[in-house]
Amino acid sequence: MTIDQLMNWIPFGADWPALAFFAAVLVCALTVFLFIAVYALMAIYGEVKISSFMQDKVGPMGQGVGFHAGKWGLLQPVADAVKLILKEDIIPTLADKKLFIMAPFVVFIGAFISFAALPFNQHTVVSDLNIGIFYILAVGSLSVIGIILAGWGSNNKWSLYGGMRSAAQIVSYEIPAALSIITVIMLTGTLSMQGIIEFQKGTIWVILPNWIIFNNPFSFIAFFIFFISGVAECNRTPFDIPEAESELVAGAFTEYSGMRYAFFFLSEYAEMFVISAVATTAFLGGWNSPISGFFDGPGWGLFWFMGKSLFLVFVMLWFRWTFPRLRVDQLMSICWKVFLPFALVNIFGVAIWSLIIG
């Protein structure tokens, strides 16, 4: 539902438009926050369990008498959350207090406001901006400022390393990601998220859904470039050098504890979802059903969208628990020497392809 619809429902909307707008935004914001919180708990549980399964163990399991972590450890993330909330809030004496306090929120805001343009199904989108995908790319990189603030504000050498690495990394990986999105925009001719999804309706080659990833070989490559750049932007393994725990202890987040650390955590998971959702929207048909004409409708739309996005989140977890970490210079060389040329070639390729075939 867009904000406009929500405003129409509000009884005093006509009389107090400003107030109604504020109320509608508040409702949306709270809903999104709730969504992020619940999703993060689920994702933490998923990460714990999936990593355990990959490593031949079972993760948290509540068994036997007493109030353990619930059946199959389902209450474990809740327990983690409670622990993080109750923990002592430590601010180092020599830290730059203002920056130190501000940093988690700046990071979180970047991930949080991206949700405004995510189309969950045909109708559910906070605001269907006409420059939706551009907006998400723009605000998504806000988090880098937060991480630099955290790195600088902590007054810790490890944090500084983490912050600096993160700045270099995220800024670099914005470019291949954006260039891959350009191929999508060239095909669809629109920046609106819903518009991009509408474009991907129907089928191509009889049974294959008309998703952009299947549209032509170049967009197929573009999907992978975008997704891997996205992984790098979320600071996930193999690109987690800003918080590389075996080198930098916890990188930019070394000095954080309790709720402040939880915010970093939350925004990391939120960002993962945003990247996955954008990849879903731009390449995997958004809320479109894989079998065209079947399982359509708002409910199914939500299901498909969430299913595809969560699958991509799972792939990120899968990466994390399989790969070693790259070194900072290798990370850069992959970005500039592999992804960037490929992304540029993709743009030309798509242009020529749509001239000839389309």
Pairing of strands 203-204, 208-209: antiparallel
Minimal distance, residue 239 CB to other proteins, in Å: 10
The answer to whether the CB of 230 falls within 8 A of the CB of 178 is no
Helix boundaries (H) for 255-322: 258-283, 298-320
Taking the C-alpha atoms of residue 350 and residue 223, their distance in angstroms, rounded to an integer, is 13
> CB-wise, 6 or 225, nearer to other proteins?
225
> CB-wise, 279 or 331, nearer to other proteins?
331
Please provide residue 71's backbone torsions phi and psi, each rounded to the nearest 5 degrees.
-60, 130
Q: Which of 120, 135, 152, 161 binds other proteins (CB under 8 A)?
A: 161
The answer to whether the CB of 72 falls within 8 A of the CB of 61 is yes
Looking from the CA of 84 toward its CB, the CA atoms found within 13 Å total: 17
Q: How many residues bind other proteins (CB under 8 A)?
A: 38
Minimal distance, residue 304 CB to other proteins, in Å: 23
Q: Which of 30, 54, 90, 208 binds other proteins (CB under 8 A)?
A: 54
Minimal distance, residue 321 CB to other proteins, in Å: 5
Name the residue among 143, 150, 138 with its Cα closest to residue 191. 138
Looking from the CA of 155 toward its CB, the CA atoms found within 13 Å total: 11
Strand, coil or helix: what is 204?
strand
Looking from the CA of 288 toward its CB, the CA atoms found within 13 Å total: 27
Strand partners, 204: 208
Q: Which of 83, 97, 98, 157 binds other proteins (CB under 8 A)?
A: 157
Contact code string over 210-249 relative to other proteins, x by CB under 8 A = ---------------------------xx-xx--xxxxxx
Q: Which of 16, 53, 311, 348 binds other proteins (CB under 8 A)?
A: 53
> CB-wise, 90 or 338, nearer to other proteins?
338
> CB-wise, 151 or 285, nearer to other proteins?
151
> CB-wise, 87 or 325, nearer to other proteins?
325
DSSP 100: H
Taking the C-alpha atoms of residue 112 and residue 136, their distance in angstroms, rounded to an integer, is 10
Minimal distance, residue 323 CB to other proteins, in Å: 6
257 token code pair: 């504890």
> CB-wise, 61 or 137, nearer to other proteins?
61
Name the residue among 284, 347, 342 with its Cα closest to residue 312. 284
DSSP 327: P
Minimal distance, residue 285 CB to other proteins, in Å: 24
String of DSSP letters for 40-107: HHHHHHHHHHHHHHHTT-----B-SSSS-S-BTTTTHHHHHHHHHHHS-----TTS-HHHHHHHHHHH
> CB-wise, 8 or 63, nearer to other proteins?
63
Minimal distance, residue 315 CB to other proteins, in Å: 9
Contact code string over 299-338 relative to other proteins, x by CB under 8 A = -------------------xxxxxxxxxxxxx-------x
The answer to whether the CB of 350 falls within 8 A of the CB of 219 is yes
> CB-wise, 260 or 320, nearer to other proteins?
320
> CB-wise, 112 or 161, nearer to other proteins?
161
Minimal distance, residue 80 CB to other proteins, in Å: 19
Q: Of how many residues is the chain composed?
A: 358
> CB-wise, 47 or 274, nearer to other proteins?
47
Minimal distance, residue 334 CB to other proteins, in Å: 9
Q: Which of residues 55-114 bind other proteins (CB under 8 A)?
A: 55-58, 61, 63-64
Minimal distance, residue 197 CB to other proteins, in Å: 28
Taking the C-alpha atoms of residue 346 and residue 148, their distance in angstroms, rounded to an integer, is 32
Minimal distance, residue 182 CB to other proteins, in Å: 22
**List of residues contacting other proteins (CB under 8 A):** 50-58, 61, 63-64, 157, 161, 237-238, 240-241, 244-249, 318-330, 338
